[in-house]
Amino acid sequence: MVTVTRTDPRVIAESVVDPELPMLTLADLGVLREVAATGDRVVVTITPTYSGCPAITEMRTELHRRLTEAGHPEVEVRTRLDPPWTTDWISDAGRRKLAEHGIAPPGHAPESGPGPVPLRLGPTRRHARCPRCESADTEELSEFGATACKALRRCRSCLEPFEHMKEI
Protein backbone atom coordinates (compact mmCIF):
# COMPACT_ATOMS: atom_id res chain seq x y z
CA MET A 1 0.00 0.00 0.00
CA VAL A 2 1.33 3.39 -0.96
CA THR A 3 0.70 6.32 1.34
CA VAL A 4 1.07 9.75 -0.16
CA THR A 5 2.13 12.25 2.45
CA ARG A 6 1.41 15.85 1.82
CA THR A 7 2.33 18.73 4.05
CA ASP A 8 -0.63 19.87 6.14
CA PRO A 9 -2.29 22.57 4.01
CA ARG A 10 -2.80 24.75 7.08
CA VAL A 11 0.95 24.85 7.72
CA ILE A 12 1.58 25.88 4.12
CA ALA A 13 -1.17 28.50 4.00
CA GLU A 14 -0.01 29.99 7.27
CA SER A 15 3.52 30.42 5.95
CA VAL A 16 2.61 32.43 2.83
CA VAL A 17 3.77 36.02 3.28
CA ASP A 18 2.22 39.40 2.55
CA PRO A 19 3.98 40.74 -0.61
CA GLU A 20 4.00 44.29 0.77
CA LEU A 21 4.97 43.39 4.34
CA PRO A 22 7.07 40.28 3.69
CA MET A 23 8.07 39.97 7.35
CA LEU A 24 4.46 38.95 8.06
CA THR A 25 2.79 35.69 7.15
CA LEU A 26 -0.89 35.71 6.25
CA ALA A 27 -1.50 34.12 9.65
CA ASP A 28 0.40 36.95 11.41
CA LEU A 29 -1.58 39.54 9.47
CA GLY A 30 -4.88 37.91 10.40
CA VAL A 31 -6.20 37.71 6.83
CA LEU A 32 -6.19 33.91 6.83
CA ARG A 33 -9.58 32.96 8.18
CA GLU A 34 -9.95 29.26 7.48
CA VAL A 35 -8.21 26.29 5.87
CA ALA A 36 -10.44 23.29 5.22
CA ALA A 37 -9.25 20.07 3.60
CA THR A 38 -11.52 17.27 2.44
CA GLY A 39 -9.93 14.53 0.37
CA ASP A 40 -8.07 16.10 -2.52
CA ARG A 41 -9.69 19.45 -2.05
CA VAL A 42 -8.36 22.40 -0.03
CA VAL A 43 -10.43 25.52 0.52
CA VAL A 44 -8.63 28.54 1.95
CA THR A 45 -10.65 31.54 3.09
CA ILE A 46 -9.09 34.98 3.36
CA THR A 47 -10.40 38.44 4.29
CA PRO A 48 -8.97 41.48 2.46
CA THR A 49 -7.35 44.26 4.51
CA TYR A 50 -8.37 47.42 2.62
CA SER A 51 -10.94 47.56 -0.23
CA GLY A 52 -8.25 48.66 -2.68
CA CYS A 53 -5.25 46.76 -1.38
CA PRO A 54 -3.53 45.26 -4.45
CA ALA A 55 -1.70 42.71 -2.27
CA ILE A 56 -4.81 40.54 -1.95
CA THR A 57 -4.51 39.33 -5.56
CA GLU A 58 -0.87 38.37 -4.98
CA MET A 59 -1.86 36.53 -1.80
CA ARG A 60 -4.49 34.50 -3.64
CA THR A 61 -2.02 33.60 -6.40
CA GLU A 62 0.68 32.65 -3.93
CA LEU A 63 -1.65 30.50 -1.81
CA HIS A 64 -2.78 28.65 -4.90
CA ARG A 65 0.76 28.14 -6.17
CA ARG A 66 2.26 26.97 -2.87
CA LEU A 67 -0.55 24.54 -2.09
CA THR A 68 -0.55 23.13 -5.62
CA GLU A 69 3.22 22.64 -5.50
CA ALA A 70 2.83 20.83 -2.19
CA GLY A 71 0.71 18.22 -3.94
CA HIS A 72 -2.83 19.41 -3.30
CA PRO A 73 -4.53 18.93 -6.66
CA GLU A 74 -7.62 21.02 -6.01
CA VAL A 75 -7.16 24.39 -4.35
CA GLU A 76 -9.77 27.08 -4.00
CA VAL A 77 -9.10 30.46 -2.40
CA ARG A 78 -12.29 32.12 -1.20
CA THR A 79 -12.88 35.71 -0.15
CA ARG A 80 -14.82 36.43 3.01
CA LEU A 81 -15.83 40.06 3.42
CA ASP A 82 -17.77 39.84 6.67
CA PRO A 83 -16.71 40.71 9.32
CA PRO A 84 -14.28 43.29 7.88
CA TRP A 85 -10.59 42.90 8.66
CA THR A 86 -9.22 44.88 11.57
CA THR A 87 -5.64 45.43 12.72
CA ASP A 88 -6.74 43.83 16.02
CA TRP A 89 -6.41 40.51 14.15
CA ILE A 90 -2.63 40.94 13.77
CA SER A 91 -1.02 38.36 16.05
CA ASP A 92 1.42 39.13 18.86
CA ALA A 93 4.16 37.50 16.78
CA GLY A 94 3.17 39.74 13.87
CA ARG A 95 3.38 42.84 16.05
CA ARG A 96 6.82 41.84 17.26
CA LYS A 97 8.05 41.23 13.70
CA LEU A 98 6.74 44.60 12.52
CA ALA A 99 8.63 46.40 15.30
CA GLU A 100 11.78 44.39 14.54
CA HIS A 101 11.57 45.61 10.95
CA GLY A 102 11.18 49.25 11.91
CA ILE A 103 7.40 49.51 11.59
CA ALA A 104 5.53 50.52 14.74
CA PRO A 105 2.63 48.09 15.27
CA PRO A 106 -0.96 49.37 15.50
CA GLY A 107 -2.71 50.13 18.78
CA HIS A 108 -6.30 49.04 19.41
CA ALA A 109 -8.76 49.73 16.61
CA PRO A 110 -11.37 52.39 17.42
CA GLU A 111 -14.73 51.03 18.57
CA SER A 112 -17.64 51.69 16.26
CA GLY A 113 -20.88 52.46 18.05
CA PRO A 114 -24.42 52.58 16.62
CA GLY A 115 -25.69 55.69 14.85
CA PRO A 116 -23.76 58.27 12.79
CA VAL A 117 -19.97 58.04 12.68
CA PRO A 118 -18.59 61.02 14.66
CA LEU A 119 -16.46 63.56 12.80
CA ARG A 120 -12.91 64.03 14.13
CA LEU A 121 -11.68 67.52 13.37
CA GLY A 122 -8.61 67.31 15.59
CA PRO A 123 -5.55 65.27 14.65
CA THR A 124 -5.99 61.52 15.10
CA ARG A 125 -4.44 60.62 18.44
CA ARG A 126 -2.10 57.75 17.92
CA HIS A 127 0.47 56.54 20.37
CA ALA A 128 3.27 54.79 18.60
CA ARG A 129 6.62 54.02 20.18
CA CYS A 130 9.72 54.52 18.10
CA PRO A 131 10.69 51.04 16.85
CA ARG A 132 14.39 51.98 17.03
CA CYS A 133 14.83 53.59 20.44
CA GLU A 134 11.43 52.79 22.00
CA SER A 135 10.79 56.40 22.94
CA ALA A 136 7.10 57.27 23.31
CA ASP A 137 7.83 60.83 22.21
CA THR A 138 6.90 60.59 18.54
CA GLU A 139 4.96 62.78 16.11
CA GLU A 140 3.00 62.20 12.93
CA LEU A 141 4.54 63.47 9.70
CA SER A 142 1.91 62.19 7.30
CA GLU A 143 -1.31 60.33 8.00
CA PHE A 144 -1.01 58.61 4.62
CA GLY A 145 2.02 56.60 3.61
CA ALA A 146 3.51 54.33 0.99
CA THR A 147 0.71 51.79 1.43
CA ALA A 148 -2.89 52.26 2.54
CA CYS A 149 -2.20 50.74 5.95
CA LYS A 150 0.71 52.92 7.08
CA ALA A 151 1.34 56.45 8.36
CA LEU A 152 4.70 58.17 8.52
CA ARG A 153 5.99 59.33 11.91
CA ARG A 154 9.18 60.72 13.43
CA CYS A 155 10.80 60.06 16.77
CA ARG A 156 11.50 63.23 18.74
CA SER A 157 14.19 61.46 20.80
CA CYS A 158 16.38 59.80 18.19
CA LEU A 159 14.98 61.93 15.32
CA GLU A 160 14.58 58.93 13.01
CA PRO A 161 11.48 58.76 10.80
CA PHE A 162 9.53 55.49 10.87
CA GLU A 163 6.36 53.92 9.55
CA HIS A 164 3.37 53.11 11.72
CA MET A 165 0.67 50.64 10.85
CA LYS A 166 -2.59 52.49 11.45
CA GLU A 167 -5.30 51.12 13.67
CA ILE A 168 -8.39 50.29 11.63
Partner 1 sequence: MDNAYEALVESEGDTRWAFGTGFDDPLAGVDATVPAGVDGPDLGAYCLMLGDDALILSHRLSEWCTRAHELEDEVALANISLDLLGQTRMLLARAGQADGSGRDEDRLAYFRDEEHFRNVRLCELPGGDFGRTIARLLVFASWRLAAFNRLGESRDPVLAAIAAKAVKELTYHRDYAARWLVRLGDGTDHSHQRAREGLEAVWPLVDELFEPHDVERRMVGAGVGVDPASLREEFDAVLGQVLEPAGLATPETPAMGRVGGRAGRDGVHTEHLGYLLAEMQGLARAHPEATW
- Which of 2, 3, 81, 125 contacts partner 1 by CB under 8 A? 81
Per-residue binding string, partner 1, 108-137, x by CB under 8 A, is ----x---xx-xxx-xx-------------
The CA distance from 51 to 85, in Å, is 10
Query: Rule CB under 8 A: is residue 168 a binding residue for partner 1?
Result: yes
Query: Rule CB under 8 A: is residue 157 a binding residue for partner 1?
Result: no
Query: Rule CB under 8 A: is residue 17 a binding residue for partner 1?
Result: no
Given a contact cutoff of 8 angstroms between Cβ atoms, the answer to whether 30 and 91 are in contact is yes
Best CA proximity match to 80, nearest among 37, 41, 31, 17:
31
Query: Rule CB under 8 A: is residue 20 a binding residue for partner 1?
Result: no
- Shortest distance, position 100 Cβ to partner 1, whole Å: 18
Query: Rule CB under 8 A: is residue 79 a binding residue for partner 1?
Result: yes
Site for partner 1 in 33-72 (CB under 8 A): 45, 48, 50-53, 56-58, 60-61, 64-65
Q: How far apart are the first and last CA of the chain?
A: 52
Amino acid at 162: F
Q: Would you call the peptide bond into 22 cis, given omega within 30 degrees of 0 as the criterion?
A: no
For residue 6, the SS3 value is: coil
Query: Rule CB under 8 A: is residue 77 a binding residue for partner 1?
Result: yes
CA-angle at 41, arms to 73 and 82, nearest 5°: 125
For residue 138, the SS3 value is: strand
Query: Rule CB under 8 A: is residue 78 a binding residue for partner 1?
Result: yes
Q: Which residues bind partner 1 (CB under 8 A)?
A: 45, 48, 50-53, 56-58, 60-61, 64-65, 76-85, 112, 116-117, 119-121, 123-124, 141-146, 148, 168
